[in-house]
Structures are given as C-alpha cells and as structure tokens.
Amino acid sequence: MTAVQNELGHRIARMVRAQGPLSVAQFMTIALHDAQSGYYATRDPIGSDFITAPEMTQIFGELIGLWCVQVWRDQGCPERARLVELGPGRGTLMDDALRAARVVPEFLKAIDIVMVEASPVLAAEQSARLKSCGVPVRWIGDLSHVAYDRPSFIIANEFLDALPVQQFVMTEHGWRERVVTADTDNTLAFASAPVPPAFRVPPERGDAQSGAVYEVSPAAMALVDDIARGVASAGGAALFIDYGHEGQEFGDTLQAISRHRFADVLASPGSVDLTCHVDFGAIARAARTAGAQVLGPVGQGAFLQALGIEARLSGLCPHGDMDIAAVHRLTDSGEMGTLFKALAILPQGAPNPPGFARGTSRC
C-alpha cells in the first residue's frame, strides 16, 4: 500500500472507494490529464523532470525536418500536404525542422502545420515559438480532428510512451487485469481483478510464469490504426521515435519520473510523469493490418547516424561541448542509441526513406 501525498491522490482514493478499482489505463489517464491537477494539464515538465532529444541539440529537429522533406520529394512533391506533430513539447522540434526545411522553399509552400497538443500550458509555449514561422499553424487536442484528405507527414517523438496501458498479470487462476485499489486510510495499491479479463492475452503468451506482466495500449493501437489507414489511402508518412521493445518479453514497464529520478507510481499522481515502454512489434502489426508499409524499428543511434548526425555536428558553427555530448547521448548504445527506436509508416510501394535501409521491415 502507498500513502497518497497530494490532492489528486486523495481524490482518486475517494473515487475508487465509491466506484470500485481503476484499471491502470484509467489511473494513468487521470494522473496525466485531469483538468485541475493532471501532470500535463498543469505544467511544463521539460527540463525539470525530464529532457527530450529536441531540447538537447538543434541537430535532432533539423534532421527530422530534412527527413520529412525527402519523403515528400520521394512521393512526388505534392502541392498540398500537411505536417503534423504529436505531443510537440515546447515546439522546439518543429521550429528546428522548419528552419532546416527552408533549403527547399517548395516544401514550406506546400504544407500547413497541425500541432496535436492536449496541454494548454505547452500549447501556449508552442504558439509563442512558432508565431513567426511563416507557415499556417493550427492546434488541436487530438488526432481525430485531422482529415486525411491530402498527404500527411506525421512526427511523434516520445509520444506513444505516455499513452495509457492496460496491464495483465499471470496468477494461479490465469490472466487477471491489474487494477488500482484504495483503503479507508487513503492509501492506493495495485491488485489483480478477481475475474478473467474481457481482453484475451495472445495465445503465444500462454507459457508465462506466475507474476508475469503483459502490457497493451488500446489507445496506441487505435491511434496507429487511424494513422496507417490515412497514410495508406492519402499518402504521406509517420515517423515514431520512442523508447521500447519489440514485444518479445514480459515485464512491468510502468514508471514514474520526477526531477530526473524514478518515483513511486501511486504516491503523487499528477505530480510525476507516468510512462511505459512502447511495444514496437504491436505498433508495426497494427499499422500493417491497416494496409500500410512498415519499416523498422531501428535503433535511434543507427537511424540518426544514417541521417548524417555526425556530419551535421561537424558543420554546426559554432558547436560546443553540449552539442557533442548530446550527439553522443542520442546515438551511443549505452545511452539512448539502442533503447530508443525509430519506426516509419508509409503507403505501400513508397520508396524507403532515409534511415531505413532495405530489409528493416522485420516486425
């Protein structure tokens, strides 16, 4: 049992006592997006709690911008296209991407920009940063408001890891969903639901040992299905960069981060970031089932090296120790180079984009 330490935690405990246990996905949704106290609804956590690749060095966003330009060219330079970013943080990645894309003015003339952002705090920062970008920009709260009436080039850096997951635990009675319960003294705890779940864990997972945890994100699957269908029918591409695995192992990957350190998941909901590792194998299968071509995942280090990150570092004038350290952190296998991965979704028959050599479609 974990004693809750803030107002949202007490509110969740009262909700559980009144209505029954919450799934892990429901708990994550409240903790991250509650309008009054949710983590993303009330703060800009970048820097104070965690740092993302675009904030480490401008090179990251520049390479992503040039990647989008090349994929646009590969698909015949459509005159009307859309550039979409999911979870744009402070707008740094988009700002850097657009600066790099100025080498191809035709691309900037062809696109309008959609920023998909649920946080009013971060949306305000993005608006201030992009107010003079010279390209039409609009903000929406979720991707359902995007119509796939033209090629859409979608960027999602560290977005999928923050989507809610359901967890299932192998018990002596079989698979049971993991839930959050509450006691009368305002403590929260994880428990197993007493009845079998409506969701069926894939048969190949049937040999799991007692205590094994299987994670699935219905929100991520629905999002990828929608994107893949749109890209397959109207053209464009989606690039997902995140930390995760290819679905080959069991494990509880739910974690809380505060001030760059791991924290208790249940103690202070709304005050800590909650994330889970992305199952890239499941993402790839969902996109392929929806009719799209899937490339990757490939390690972030290999992906950025193929895009020319070292050459760009050498040409950055001036570049300092921070840029050198950032490139090392982004690409080294002992840092973010292997755990972080890149996956691309494209129309069937589209040329392989930069960073994805032939044979990288292996999921």
Find the mean pLDDT for residues 321-334. Answer: 92
CA distance 81 to 347: 15
**pLDDT confidence of 332, banded at 50, 70, 90?**
very high
Closest CA to 341 of 241, 239, 249: 241
**pLDDT confidence of 319, banded at 50, 70, 90?**
low
Domain map of the chain by residue range? 42-161+217-253+271-346
Q: What pLDDT digit, counting tens, does each position of 189-229 carry?
A: 999 998 888 887 876 655 788 899 999 999 999 999 999 99
What per-residue confidence (pLDDT) applies to 68?
Answer: 98
Angle subtended at Cα 285 by Cα 218 and Cα 143, rounded to the nearest 5 degrees: 50
Domain 42-161+217-253+271-346 has CATH 3.40.50.150: yes
Q: What pLDDT digit, counting tens, does each position of 263-300 carry?
A: 999 999 999 999 999 999 999 999 999 999 999 999 99
Whole-number average pLDDT of the chain:
91
- Strands (E) in the chain, as ranges, are 2-3, 22-23, 81-86, 111-116, 137-140, 152-157, 166-171, 174-182, 187-192, 213-216, 236-245, 255-258, 261-263, 273-275, 278-279, 293-299, 340-346
Long-range Cβ pairs for the range 261-267 (8 Å, 24+)? 264/2, 266/2, 266/4, 266/9, 266/180, 266/188, 266/189, 266/190, 267/2, 267/3, 267/4, 267/5, 267/9
> Which residues pair with residue 293 across a beta bridge?
346
Q: What pLDDT digit, counting tens, does each position of 23-60 carry?
A: 999 999 999 999 899 988 887 778 677 789 999 999 99
Whether the model pTM is above 0.85: yes
Q: What pLDDT digit, counting tens, does each position of 336-346 carry?
A: 999 999 999 99
Q: What is the percentage of the chain residues whose pLDDT exceeds 90?
A: 75
Highest mean pLDDT among 43-47, 144-148, 248-252, 276-280: 276-280
**pLDDT confidence of 3, banded at 50, 70, 90?**
confident
CA distance 71 to 199: 38
What per-residue confidence (pLDDT) applies to 203?
Answer: 63
Cis before 347 (ω within 30): no
For residue 276, what are the contacts with CB-CB under 8 A and spacing of at least 6? 161, 165, 215, 217, 253, 254, 255
Find the mean pLDDT for residues 65-79. Answer: 97
For residue 73, what are the contacts with CB-CB under 8 A and spacing of at least 6? 104, 107
Q: Find the length of the chain.
A: 363
**pLDDT confidence of 157, banded at 50, 70, 90?**
very high
CA distance 94 to 205: 40
What per-residue confidence (pLDDT) applies to 318?
Answer: 66
What per-residue confidence (pLDDT) applies to 99?
Answer: 96
Q: What is the percentage of the chain residues whose pLDDT exceeds 70?
A: 95
Residue type, 255: Q
Q: What pLDDT digit, counting tens, does each position of 86-142 carry?
A: 999 999 999 999 999 999 999 999 999 999 998 888 999 999 999 999 999 999 998
Give residue for tokens 């290999």.
302
